[in-house]
Amino acid sequence: MKGNFFLGNKSFEVRPLTERALSEGEVLVKVAACGVCGTDVHIYHGDKGSAEVHPPVVLGHEFSGIVEAIGASVTTVKPGDRVTVDPNIYCGKCYFCRTGKKQSCTGLQAIGVTMNGGFAEYCYVPESQCFLLSPDVSLRAGAMTEPLACCLHGIDKAGIRAGDSVCVIGGGAIGLMMVQLARLSGASKIILSEPVEFRRRIGLELGADHAIDPFAGPVSEQIGSILHTPGADVVIECVGNTAATSQAFEAANDGATVLLFSVPKANTYHPLSLEQVFQKELKIIGSRINPDTHLRAASLINSGKIKFDRLITHSYPLEQLQDAIIKQTENDSIKVIVEPN
């Protein structure tokens, strides 16, 4: 079996994976599909992931597959089961783990970040990180469980109430999942702000009531003409640049919650009008990874209530991982996956 190892400096190499006996509580997963995440793009360019990356390592933390073999004490999955994997492994001992904030765990380990992950034919995974997928769920959709779990954590923090208006900034894979989750949360009006026309069209198909081009005119005016209010009750930013952050504050109604969900580049700063925060009584929230939401995400995927067929636009073999990462940054893609087998 083989994996595509990240060597640092934008370099990869396909190498054999070390085969070994499974520990008692371990599962060997034959990887079916692994998504390219914005975090992978950051790591590719030399930034850290959810934890420090020490090459050589196999990246890929958004993946699904089929259980190939299990350790002696494993009881929750069996060979042949279809599974999604939660990559984040918390220490359970630090201050943050013991006070309900495990996403800030000081001993965080992550499959596909600090240890070999899903850009490989097989992956060794602790039983605790495996979650069952229904037989009728595509394994491509199963690979979207981890980003959906992260979105669920963000949606929880945004606190959408039934009847709220919601503006989602950015129509990439995350933004289009946020559109669907906002609909499930009871939003009365959902506006997607996205400059790429085909993404706006897909956003409307997936539940947005309106899709605007932020370059067609001031976002506040476009939203005001739709909602007849100065902005939306909840704004979810899913792009990761300062222009999108500016849009998010422009799109916010008085008393709004602004969720800055995207993973920004390191050392990115945005000037903030304290007067605007004061006058509008804005609530500004961040969101990090997926503490305790992976099972809920798998349940949503198994229910068929989140649609992924329009989100996955490109697929690459294992050997073309670098091409896949580059494609993920281009406007003609939404979600790029690697299919190692």
CATH number of the domain enclosing 328 = 3.90.180.10
What CATH number is associated with residue 162?
Answer: 3.40.50.720
Residue 188: per-residue pLDDT: 98
Is the domain of 9 the same as that of 126? yes
Is the domain of 55 the same as that of 136? yes
Is the domain of 260 the same as that of 280? yes
Is the domain of 167 the same as that of 243? yes
Residue 264: per-residue pLDDT: 83
179 close to 207: Cβ distance less than 8 angstroms? yes
Residue 265: per-residue pLDDT: 79
Domain residues for 267?
A: 151-286
Is the domain of 121 the same as that of 77? yes
Burial class (CB in 10 A: 0-12, 13-18, 19+), 172: buried
Helix axes 173-184, 145-158, angle to 10 degrees: 50
Residue 48: per-residue pLDDT: 76
Residue 88 lies in a domain: yes
Residue 190 lies in a domain: yes
Residue 120 lies in a domain: yes
Residue 300 lies in a domain: no
CA dist 250 and 59 (Å) reads 36
How many residues appear in the chain? 341
Q: Which residues are marked as active site?
A: 39, 42
Residue 171 lies in a domain: yes
CA dist 334 and 341 (Å) reads 22
In three-state secondary structure terms, 39 is helix
CA dist 45 and 42 (Å) reads 5
Is the domain of 104 the same as that of 191? no
CA dist 35 and 309 (Å) reads 14
**Measured between alpha carbons, how far is residue 244 from residues 33, 215, 219, 307, 340 in Å?**
30, 12, 11, 25, 34
Is the domain of 170 the same as that of 210? yes
Is the domain of 165 the same as that of 76? no
Residue 303 lies in a domain: no
Is the domain of 158 the same as that of 282? yes
CA dist 337 and 145 (Å) reads 13
Residue 52: per-residue pLDDT: 86
How many structural domains comprise the chain? 2
CA dist 21 and 40 (Å) reads 29
The tokens describing 89, both together, are 């492994």
Residue 97 lies in a domain: yes
Is the domain of 232 the same as that of 112? no
- pLDDT tens per residue, the chain (341 residues)? 999 999 999 999 999 999 999 999 999 999 999 999 999 999 999 887 777 899 999 999 999 999 999 999 999 999 999 999 999 999 999 999 999 999 999 999 999 999 999 999 999 999 999 999 999 999 999 999 999 999 999 999 999 999 999 999 999 999 999 999 999 999 999 999 999 999 999 999 999 999 999 999 999 999 999 999 999 999 999 998 999 999 999 999 999 999 999 988 778 899 999 999 999 999 999 999 999 999 999 999 999 999 999 999 999 999 999 999 999 999 999 999 999 99
Residue 13: per-residue pLDDT: 98
Burial class (CB in 10 A: 0-12, 13-18, 19+), 331: exposed
Is the domain of 37 the same as that of 163? no
Residue 298 lies in a domain: no
Report CA Rg, the chain.
Answer: 20
Is the domain of 130 the same as that of 237? no
